[in-house]
Structure 1
């Protein structure tokens, strides 16, 4: 039996972030007898998806974090890796900060290279952002293929003219849409378990990190609960800023009105619990959770930083963060009465159902290695 093509994906970690979730959605649905995914990550800590990847037949390799002072050691590690692992013919880079380094080395070893943009800004303070942006700039000239989750994300990382290039493509962050279809029995079961059967539930899913803007979220909810005493805020996720957010919740004396679930494997079930989804992000490459929320039939109030590609149904509305807390609170309080509906067909017809998107990935990888023997860059 012919061995599957092995694709090497490069990331920082394998936790439940947007890029990682997208890759795992595809990995679960791709024909793994033909295509297998392996991963290079930049941590030695156990990650959320490690066990599942091993179970699906993937390999995970840990690299040292890039610190600047270990520049030559980092480059050498990649050289050694590609010399030792000649089974790889394609490297798919999702980690931007060092992509100009590892993709250049991959090309030297004869690999086809893909750079994938998942964001529209760099994290960190101004100095860190400046350094990252300088390091990332050459990617557009190094990678064979330039992928992005939205045109905004593509233009941010690869330049405004990227959309005219024949090696550029928007790859939709597809989801297992069927899992999110509104299910009243599951909703009632989950709400009963949480003890919030008669509550109006404002929900949010995302890592507790700067881009997700939890501070604004808590301040906004404080205004909501002053106007409606029967509300609950349900926060799904975890992250480095959680201690600060918990401190903010306590200082506003709303601890009894906020549920923090931490990281959960069944986000789809928790979305059944929600009555409205709120997403005040500072910046987003796409905002995959807004797609999930629409798939669950939820009304979504989102910041105008969310790219146009996320606006699939008429359930999603954008507001500028500059509008202020009162405007956001009033908008959400108008969402108390609406009937949830099945949006599966809309999600699928917009190209966000992962079963179809997995076929796109599979066809691309196979075309590169089976139909493109000369390893030339093929127009997308």
Structure 2
């Protein structure tokens, strides 16, 4: 079984990590290749070592070159694959789906987001959503109910939760510290809303000087957040750590994980944090299916007082773990289902 995976790039995001973990746990049975259009590839050496070919298309901004490359790629290579697996947050990048359909390559579409922040991209997504549904010839997957509804509609998709390698996170040592550390792991993007954590910290410090914020990740808005920290004179209370491929030990430094995103699919970091067992506060914009442990709660972004009230309550609850082995959040369960889906898609859609 040969699978062509389509994804924007291979950077530090959660969707990329889902793809990489899937490949790690299926490459002995599936011959994977990847096509990207952003030249980020932090997994280059690992993928090369396990025999995964990575193809780089010209950036979509150079629309003529990009379309020409994609047309030639599918014309010359579509027959070499059994299935195309499209990882995306919307259907705005519809070109590979249209080309795969033209060359009769079975298509798996995998939704990893629940909305877009821009009016125009929201409208174009709705157009391609209606167009794609009119064909009724793709195998549709979603990491959460909200991601499924956004990408496909009501009942025309299979729910497949993001899985993690539980062994990496279930035995993380929790560090004792004199401080109360609010942790956050994620790419610095407007949608992640990390500035909220700085405003939250400012209020918390009025109640106790033991609060600290530790943010892990890189991205376009990191400098903006750093500047905001400086403007608030909070440099001694906020620590920035660069992105790391293996983050499990960092969870042990957190007393609580807070995610103030404007929207998400089903964030992998929340599953990882729950495997470790630390308390979590997430904005109400995040799919409620993300909640597994009893020390996980939601809050309204517009009501910071609610967040402030829930932090001491969750800190008091402390670490709680739920058995995740064999659950839908176990990467082995997810990987086995992915393999089954590839064969089902190849047989059903390839007829």
Structure 1 length-normalised TM: 0.85
CA contact (8 A) 1:93 1:99 kept: no
User: CA separation in 2, counterparts of 1:255 and 1:140?
Assistant: 50
- Measured in 1, the distance between the counterparts of 2:134 and 2:98 equals 10
Q: Does 1:35 align with 2:30?
A: yes
- How many pairs align? 348
**Contact 1:100-1:139 within 8 A present in 2 as well:** no
Q: How do residues 267-306 of structure 1 correspond to structure 2 at under 5 angstroms?
A: 267-306=247-286
How far is the alpha carbon of 1:74 from its aligned partner?
Answer: 3.5
What are the Cα deviations for residues 108-167 of structure 1, in whole angstroms up to 9, with x where unaligned?
1120011111111124x43444445445542333451111111111111212x3x1x3xx
Q: Deviations over 1:223-251 (max 9, x none)?
A: 11221111211111111000100001111
Matched, 1:330 2:309: yes
Equivalents in 2 of 1:49, 1:139: separation in Å? 31
Q: How does 1:1-380 map to 2 (within 5 A)?
A: 5-30=1-26, 32-44=27-39, 46-67=40-61, 70=63, 73-85=65-77, 86-95=79-88, 96-123=90-117, 125-142=118-135, 143-159=137-153, 161=154, 163=155, 165=156, 168-184=157-173, 187-188=174-175, 197-323=177-303, 325-343=304-322, 345=323, 347-369=324-346, 372=347, 375-376=350-351
**C-alpha separation between the residues in 2 aligned to 1:170 and 1:134?**
23
3-state SS of 2:314 partner: coil
CA distance in 2, matches of 1:285, 1:171: 12
Alpha-carbon distance between aligned partners in 2 of 1:374 and 1:309, rounded to the nearest angstrom:
30
Cα offset, 1:51, TM superposition: 2.2
Deviation by residue 1:181-209 (Cα, 9 ceiling, x = unmatched): 1433xx34xx7xxxxx3221111111111
